[in-house]
Amino acid sequence: MLAEVRENFDVKNLTSFKIGGKISKVYFPKSVDEFEEILSCEKNVKVFGNLSNTLVSTDGYDGVVIITSKMNNYLWTEDSSYFWAEAGCKGPMLARMTENAGLSGFEFMIGFPGSLGGNIFMNASAHGQCISDKLISVKCYSKEKGVFELSKDEMQFGYRSSICQKEDIYVLGAEFELGKKSSEEIKMKMEENLAFRKAHQPSLSLPNCGSVFRNPEGNSAGRLLDEVGAKSFTSGGVKVWENHANFIVNSNQTGTSTDVLELMLKMFSSVKEKFEIELIPEVRYLGNNNIREVELCKTLNIR
């Protein structure tokens, strides 16, 4: 096997929450061929990108994981608006690259810590832009079909959703047709996006996993959580961010995964009790060694 592999790998420092224990086996493929080879040899594999939207159990995970962060090749021909990138490419890198090329469509990713694959998986959006807006097709993998391609329509994009959340389909890369604008216009838009993020979201230096819950249709999770007093909620070493009630921060890096899930349950239950609305988590979970955490994930409907 050619792909890099680590056993009993301590994943904590790779996660944006700075929480997590040891994973039995982690692969870091650098190509589609290596990715296919791993899945031909391993069973019950879980695939992640940059672990920016994932809570990894402090008690670790007894299983096999693929992290696609090293699948980060891209292809663009000068004077062309077509852009191809692999799943492991980070959003801010793609935003800066396309800025320099005078290509518009990725400005919203400038402040995202996640990878392209993760952004496609959840149909990431912000500031009036969405990953699916300029998308043409996605190269995918499933155990039944191997490597295959899905069009934008076949991806079944919705708010924070795609076919990848409904079926065992993994994103390997995608092709986009971007718009053409001056680099100055694109840079200005990205600076606006960064300023908004700085004012409304915790910085990446303050360990967090982004928005904790999706916005209910026609409503705001942050507003609902604010109205139940969530900004004062704490659990062990983590707390709700004082400037926005839909963020949990591990400010002193002393929090555990159980702390996070218990705090999520308190947030979820408070909104449900007052508004009869069940918030849907955006956070993904990886772990199987802690019974309480498994129970919490079932209650919160975290995958």
Q: Is 141 found in the same domain as 120? A: yes
The pLDDT-based confidence of 299 (bands split at 50, 70, 90) is very high
Residue 287's domain is classified under what CATH number? 3.90.78.10
Q: Is 184 found in the same domain as 288? A: no
Average pLDDT, the chain: 95
Structure confidence by residue, pLDDT tens digits, 2-26: 789 999 999 999 999 999 999 999 9
| Ordered DSSP codes for 81-123 | -EEEEETT-BHHHHHHHHHHTTEES-GGGGG--SBHHHHHHTT
Q: Is 227 found in the same domain as 196? A: no
Residue 116's domain is classified under what CATH number? 3.30.465.10
- Where in the sequence is the domain holding 116, given as residue range(s)? 74-200
Q: Is 186 found in the same domain as 85? A: yes
CA distances in angstroms from 220 to 39, 223, 271, 275, listed in the order given:
39, 5, 11, 12
Residues with a known catalytic role: 160, 211, 282
How far, rounded to the nearest angstrom, does the alpha carbon of residue 225 sit from its chain's CA centroid? 22
pLDDT for the residue numbered 2: 78
Q: Is 230 found in the same domain as 174? A: no
